[in-house]
Structure 1
Amino acid sequence: MNGVISVKDKEIAVINREITVINRKNSAIKGNIGEKIQMLKVKIDLFYLTNSKKEGGGVIWNRNRFHH
C-alpha cells in the first residue's frame, strides 16, 4: 500500500487502543476488589480474635479487655 494506512486499519488501531484502556481499567478494578477482600479477611480474623474464648483459662478477649 506504499506506506498509506487504510481507513479500516486506522479504525482497528483505534479500537485496539480502546480495548487496551478498558483492560487496564478492569485490571485496576480487579486489584481494588482483591485489596478490599483482603482487608475484609483481616477484619474478620480480628473479630474472631477479639470475640473468641482463649483455651485453658476461659478468658474472653473483647475490645482489649480481659473478662474472667
Structure 2
Amino acid sequence: MERRVNDSYQDKSNRKVEDSCLERMERRVDDSYQDRLKHRVKDSCLERLERRVEDSYLKRLKRSKE
C-alpha cells in the first residue's frame, strides 16, 4: 500500500516535471517563431522602403536629365 502511494506520488511528480519542461520548450519555440516573424516583417518593410527611395531617386534623376 505504501509503495503504491509512493509510486503514485512519483508519477505525479514526474508528470509535473515533464509538463513544466514541455511548457518551457513550447515557449522557446514560440518565442523563436515570433522573433523570426518579426524579422521577416521588418525585412519586408525595409525592402519596401528601399524600393520607394530608389524609385523616388530614379524619378528625380530622370527629371534632372530632361
- Structure with the larger RCO, 1 or 2 (CA within 8 Å, 6+ apart): 1
Match of residue 36 from structure 1 = 36
More helix, by proportion: 2
More strand, by proportion: 1
Alignment deviations for residues 24-62 of structure 1 (CA, whole Å, 9 cap, x no partner): 00000010011001100110111110112x6xxxx615x
Instruction: Give the TM-score taking structure 2 as reference length.
Output: 0.72
Uncovered stretches (5+) of structure 2, i.e. residues with no partner = 62-66
Instruction: Give the TM-score taking structure 1 as reference length.
Output: 0.70
Alpha-carbon distance in structure 1 between the residues aligned to 2:46 and 2:11: 53
Match of residue 50 from structure 1 = 50
Q: Measure how far apart 1:6 and its partner are.
A: 1.5
| Aligned residue pairs, count | 55
Coordinate RMSD, CA, aligned: 1.8
Instruction: Return the index of the structure with the highest Cα Rg.
Output: 2
Aligned partner of 1:6: which letter?
N
Match of residue 21 from structure 1 = 21
Uncovered stretches (5+) of structure 1, i.e. residues with no partner = none
